[in-house]
Amino acid sequence: MPRYGIAIDTTKCIGCHSCRVACQNQNSLESNETFNWIKHLDRGRYPSYNKQFIPLQCNHCENAPCQRVCPTGATYTSNEGVVLVNSKTCVGCKYCMEACPYKMRIIDHRRGIVEKCRLCIELVREGGVPACVTTCPTQVRVFGDLDDPNSAISRFIASTGAQPLRPDLGTLPKIFYKRS
């Protein structure tokens, strides 16, 4: 079985929010709901001031605290390594939202359940890639199988030394970032 992840080259991100919009459309989200956040980071001072954009989403942690605390077992890891929420058994206790150190989960008040990035698993199972990856105009995102050393993502990580965010938290994220 594959072990999917995304590598993100933040040096190419122009902060256009296309991934967020594509994700909202793909997942029928309201305009104020999102699984994707673009954070701005101010760096340096004039004359070398610059702004860095960092897209954030669920890291599909290998050792996921959200899954450990979920009383119903609604949060689970699929055999492709994707952390998912079963909408039929989630009770909306929000324990997972507190437990996620990255704060990447939101509550859908209409359905009363917790939601987050699903790595567009339906598209991926049909041989596609997540909507955020396809849509990105500057091709910031590389999707693929982390277990296959020849996949584009594995080669990207090997050549750039991309790292997860806060690896010290010990959750073993599967979203990798190339930062400058």
Partner 1 sequence: MQDSAWGWLIITYLFLAGAGSGAFIAAVACDLLAPDWSKALARAGSLVSGPLVVIGTLCLVLDLEAGFWQPWRQIYMVNNLRSMISWGFIILSIFIPIALVYAAALNEITFVGKLAQKYITIIEIIGSIFAVATATYTGVLIAVVNGVPFWNTPLMPVLFLASAVSTGLAAAMIVAAIIDVNTIKTLSNFALGHVIFLSVEALVLMLFVFMSLTRSTEAAASAGMLITGILSPYFWGLVVILGLVVPFILSIFEFLEYGKMPKSLVVGADILVLVGGMSIRALIIFSGTHPQIIS
Q: Which does residue 98 bind out of ligand SF4, partner 1, none, counting CB within 5 to 8 angstroms by kind?
A: partner 1
Taking contact as CB under 6 A, which single stretch among the options 7-15, 30-38, 58-66, 146-154 is the one that binds ligand SF4?
58-66
Indicate whether 56 belongs to the interface with partner 1 (CB under 8 A): yes
Of 25, 125, 138, 166, the one binding partner 1 (CB under 8 A) is 166
Indicate whether 165 belongs to the interface with partner 1 (CB under 8 A): yes
Of 4, 102, 156, 177, the one binding ligand SF4 (CB under 6 A) is 102
Of 35, 140, 171, 174, the one binding partner 1 (CB under 8 A) is 171
Which DSSP letter does residue 166 get? Answer: S
Residue 156 near residue 162 (C-beta atoms within 8 A): yes
Indicate whether 2 belongs to the interface with partner 1 (CB under 8 A): no
How far the first Cα of the chain sits from its last, in Å, is: 33
Say whether 152 sits in a helix, a strand or coil: helix
Indicate whether 100 belongs to the interface with ligand SF4 (CB under 6 A): yes
Residue 35 near residue 156 (C-beta atoms within 8 A): no
Q: Which segments of the chain does DSSP mark as H helices, in order?
A: 18-26, 65-69, 95-99, 121-125, 131-135, 152-160
